[in-house]
Amino acid sequence: MAEIKLNHVSKRWGEFVGVDDFDLTIADREFLVLLGPSGCGKTTTMRMIAGLEDVTEGTIEVDGQVVNDLDPKDRDIAMVFQSYGLYPNMNVYENVRFPLKVRKVEGDHDAKVRRAAEMVELTPFLDRKPAELSGGQRQRVALARAIVREPNVFLMDEPLSNLDAKLRVSTRAQIKNLSHELQVTTVYVTHDQIEAMTLADRVVVMSKGVVQQVGTPVEIYDNPANTFVAGFIGSPAMNLMQGTIRGGTFEGRNVRIPGLTAPDGEATVGFRAEDAAIAPTSAEIDAKVYTMELLGDATMIAVKAGGELVSVKAPKEYRAEIGAPVSISVPAAICHVFDGTSGRRVA
């Protein structure tokens, strides 16, 4: 059992604020993903939970106990990093056993090592040295080494980033499966939104040290709290267009969307590529075809409207000449509306 509570946690180095007022309870057995661009403070947050970084302000509790002053080794936490951190002179078996030895864990080490190896399908490789393994296999050794301790908390920092695209997908599935099987509270750091969406029970989206939104993948996708989240989540990310709303009608360059229930003023209107459509007659957006990508099950069209690129998902058989005029249907019902200044969601 491990519930982790971050109470108004901040990290500063001099004037620089790395993490600003992070306030969240991570439920027992939850898979929480910290997501955001490089430098947004995800790793620092995780390192504070691990005890590898001092907390400047606030407290961190694990199961009701404040751990701010507890050494990393005294926290019941196992970590997995992108650089696997394996000992090159030890074989897989010895690498996986290592944490049991250093911690002088009692019981049958051999059975624990073999069980962990089995869980990540490493049994045939127990005699090999790390240099004799592929990147994916090395990462699985790092996972087995974390599992073997049977910790209450897993912390994972971009564990898939050194793997190629295909291995990333299969290892991702394995991590998801393992976390489900082991029922361990997991905090997972990534800048890859697809990883976040596929793995997380809840995602924390961060930017510049500040939490932008916390929610399930569906909540964050369907209801982004601001333009940062809207522009970060989804592939492609949400289309965002600037303009003004007067009496429920949004107007920008080459765009006119009536029927919105949103306050008058400067606004950013967002909509997803899959919600918009190529229109047979004049519709909300007048644009020119910029490029087309065949996705197999659909065709992704990028069009240029008033200088901005907008993505629209079209049927797979759709074809158009680059530069051809095209109209895009963006009914009010599919629009997300954000305040033009603060970027916060208003409708």
Q: Which residues bind ligand ATP (CB under 6 A)?
A: 13, 16, 18, 36, 38-44, 191
Helix axes 92-102, 109-119, angle to 10 degrees: 130
Report the C-alpha gap between 176 and 198 in whole angstroms: 8
Q: CB of residue 84 vs ligand ATP: minimum separation in angstroms?
A: 16
For residue 192, the one-letter residue type is D
Residues contacting residue 218 through CB under 8 Å, at least 6 positions apart = none
Residue number with CB closer to ligand ATP (45 or 227): 45
Q: CB of residue 205 vs ligand ATP: minimum separation in angstroms?
A: 11
Q: CB of residue 41 vs ligand ATP: minimum separation in angstroms?
A: 4
Q: Take residue 329 and report the two structure tokens written for it.
A: 């249907």
Helix axes 165-182, 135-147, angle to 10 degrees: 10
Report the C-alpha gap between 301 and 117 in whole angstroms: 46
Neighbours of 252 (CB within 10 A): 19
Residue number with CB closer to ligand ATP (100 or 189): 189
Q: CB of residue 11 vs ligand ATP: minimum separation in angstroms?
A: 8
Q: CB of residue 328 vs ligand ATP: minimum separation in angstroms?
A: 35
Q: CB of residue 55 vs ligand ATP: minimum separation in angstroms?
A: 13
Q: H-helix or E-strand containing 290?
A: strand 285-294
Residue number with CB closer to ligand ATP (145 or 191): 191
Sole residue written with tokens 């709303």 = 245
Upper half-sphere CA count for residue 25 (Cβ side, 13 Å) = 6
Residue number with CB closer to ligand ATP (44 or 311): 44
Q: CB of residue 38 vs ligand ATP: minimum separation in angstroms?
A: 3
Residue number with CB closer to ligand ATP (43 or 239): 43
Residue number with CB closer to ligand ATP (41 or 252): 41
Q: Are 326 and 287 in contact (CB under 8 A)?
A: yes
For residue 327, the one-letter residue type is S
Q: CB of residue 82 vs ligand ATP: minimum separation in angstroms?
A: 9
Q: List the end-to-end C-alpha distance of the chain, in Å, as a whole number.
A: 39
Residue number with CB closer to ligand ATP (39 or 343): 39
Q: CB of residue 176 vs ligand ATP: minimum separation in angstroms?
A: 21
Q: In angstroms, what CA-CA distances link 82 with 139, 142, 162, 261, 321?
A: 8, 9, 6, 46, 43
Residue number with CB closer to ligand ATP (42 or 336): 42
Q: Which residue is nearest to ligand ATP (CB)?
A: 43
Report the C-alpha gap between 271 and 153 in whole angstroms: 38
DSSP one-letter string for 310-325: EEEEE-TT----TT-E
Report the C-alpha gap between 67 and 51 in whole angstroms: 8
Sign of CA dihedral 269, 273, 276, 280: positive
Residue number with CB closer to ligand ATP (188 or 271): 188
